[in-house]
Amino acid sequence: MKKLGWLILVLSACAPLPYGSSSSSSGPKSLQLVDRVYESNIQTVRLLRAENDPMSQLLPAVTQLGKWNLILEFDDLHTERDNYYLRIIHCNQNWTKSGLIDLDYLPDYNEFPINEFEFSLDTWKPYVHYWVQIPPVRLPGNYVAVVYRGSDKEDIIISKRFMVFEPRVTFVRDDKLVSSGTAAIRNQQINFTINYKNVELINPLETVNVTVRQNQRWDNLAQEVKPSFLRENIQELEYRFFDDASMFRGGNEFRFFDLRSLNYPGRNVAYMDKNTMPWTAYIEKDKNRSGELYSQYPDYNGSYMLDNYDYRRINASNYVNVAFTLQSPQPVSGDVFVMGTFTHWGMNEENRMRYDSARREYTSTLLLKQGWYDYQYVVRSKTQPPLFFEGSHFQTENFYEVFVYYRSFKPMADLLIGYMTFFENPR
């Protein structure tokens, strides 16, 4: 399943501050520059590369300057079409709004109608599927696509991040370990060197920032990373993650379930309750994996792929209530969330689990479209680690992205001048 086993030496920048979230809002809407859904009727928001390969669903929302191949798509669980518009916001490397005006980064007026749509076909829960191509931008950098209803820009429906890079620097990946002991057993050390001989960088120690992202997550970024060494004579910045605090937890391979067919239970689907509408798929009960030895198996690194084995037309895919159960003898100190790309890696009420003291288990139910899904249980606590229920192993296969930002003076903006991807422990 892991088809991305390559190393791309290209460019970009991306350094978010708050991690993304997906939630609904019933009161006044306030735009947040994160991955977020603002109404509960909006489902399955994805920003994809327009490629024919189905595996492209797994790729991050990152493209090269001049390649306008990103598509934003979503479902509206209504029977009638609505009028939606798209606008683009330019952000700094830390995902705060930049000081640029629209004309600095867009060749056109910043209002793009979403004209492409398709009605669902004989589904239990009717919906309208919308999609729109992300318009071209002038500058490499961080952007947020914002969808709103009608002419009211305050009636926000979706905010979704994407990144555009321009290759200006090159990378050398160093997979030699310099740590040992407990840190090496549970962590992954990300070492690399950036060569900037092809671009003039003024005071790179101050003007260059690096972000490292694991499995497209927004909740555990290494942000504004500074180099361990600067070698001005050969124009190189060297990054070495020496200590436990700066390393990434290896985590564990993702749990998964197969909901591509509703005619028979897929892998890790215990049973389907057909007496509810829509149907409810009960996932096999999960348990704490933190005390188990590492077990290797393929996954999608937290992503999901929409697919329908029952009807090949994608607009015939159904929505299903998916019930998660996590066994735990007692509640942990803090909140437990079921998370993956399908929750935008956010922690909110929709994907927070509730503890049933009688059954001694956490439960949560989410409305999801037919497909194959990866997920994990993440803890938000002052006393327990996020991977309390998952464990952490250095052998785990993970997908990493390195984003390089340069703070230019003209324009006064954070330009994404370097982007590298690689797999740790590729299969």
Q: What is the pLDDT along the chain (427 residues), one digit of tens a residue?
A: 444 333 333 333 333 333 344 444 456 899 999 999 999 999 999 999 988 888 999 999 999 999 989 999 999 999 999 999 999 999 999 999 999 999 999 999 999 999 999 999 999 999 999 999 999 999 999 999 999 999 999 999 999 999 999 999 999 998 765 555 566 788 998 999 999 999 999 999 999 999 999 999 999 999 999 999 999 999 999 998 766 677 899 999 999 999 999 999 899 999 999 999 999 999 999 999 999 999 999 999 999 999 999 998 889 999 999 999 999 999 999 999 999 999 999 999 999 999 999 999 999 999 999 999 999 999 999 999 999 999 999 999 999 999 999 999 989 999 999 999 999 999 8
At residue 174, the pLDDT reads: 83
Q: Final residue of a domain: which of 356, 378, 400?
A: 378
Q: Are 295 and 255 in contact (CB under 8 A)?
A: no
Judge if 160 and 266 occupy the same domain.
Answer: no
**What pLDDT, on the 0 to 100 scale, is given for residue 8?**
37
Q: How many domains does the chain have?
A: 2
Whether residues 151 and 260 fall in one domain: no
Do the domain assignments include residue 320?
A: yes
- Is residue 76 in some structural domain? yes
Q: Write down the pLDDT at residue 4.
A: 38
- What CATH number should be reported for the domain holding residue 54? 2.60.40
Task: Tell whether 13 and 155 lie within a shared domain.
Answer: yes
Query: Does 123 lie in the same domain as 13?
Result: yes
3-state class (DSSP) for residue 146: strand
Neighbours of 82 (CB within 10 A): 14
Same domain assignment for residues 152 and 268: no
pLDDT for position 177: 58
Domain boundary among 97, 130, 165: 165
Residue 204 belongs to some domain of the structure: no
Q: Which two tokens stand for residue 275?
A: 């007496």
Indicate the helix (H) or strand (E) that contains 183: helix 182-186
Judge if 23 and 133 occupy the same domain.
yes
Assigned domain for 347 exists:
yes
Q: Is 277 exposed, middle or buried (0-12, 13-18, 19+ CB in 10 A)?
A: exposed
Q: Residues 6 or more apart from 113 whose CB is under 8 A from it?
A: 83, 84, 85, 86
Residue 243 is assigned to a structural domain of this protein: no
In a domain, 427, yes or no: no
Q: Residue 198, Cβ neighbours under 10 Å: how many?
A: 11
201: in domain:
no
The whole domain housing 330 covers 255-272+290-378
The encoded tokens of residue 56 equal 């492209």
159 and 43 inside one domain = yes
My answer on whether 17 and 148 are in the same domain is yes
d(CA 400, CA 193): 15
**132 and 262 part of one domain:** no
- Domain-embedded: residue 349: yes
343 phi/psi in degrees, rounded to 5? -105, 10
pTM listed for this prediction: 0.91
Distance CA 337, CA 362 (A): 9
**d(Cα 113, Cα 325) in Å, to the nearest integer?**
41
Of the three residues 165, 200, 233, the one that is the final residue of a domain is 165
3-state secondary structure of 204: helix
Give the start-end residues of each E strand in 23-65: 36-37, 42-49, 62-64
CB-side neighbour CA atoms (13 Å) of 366: 24
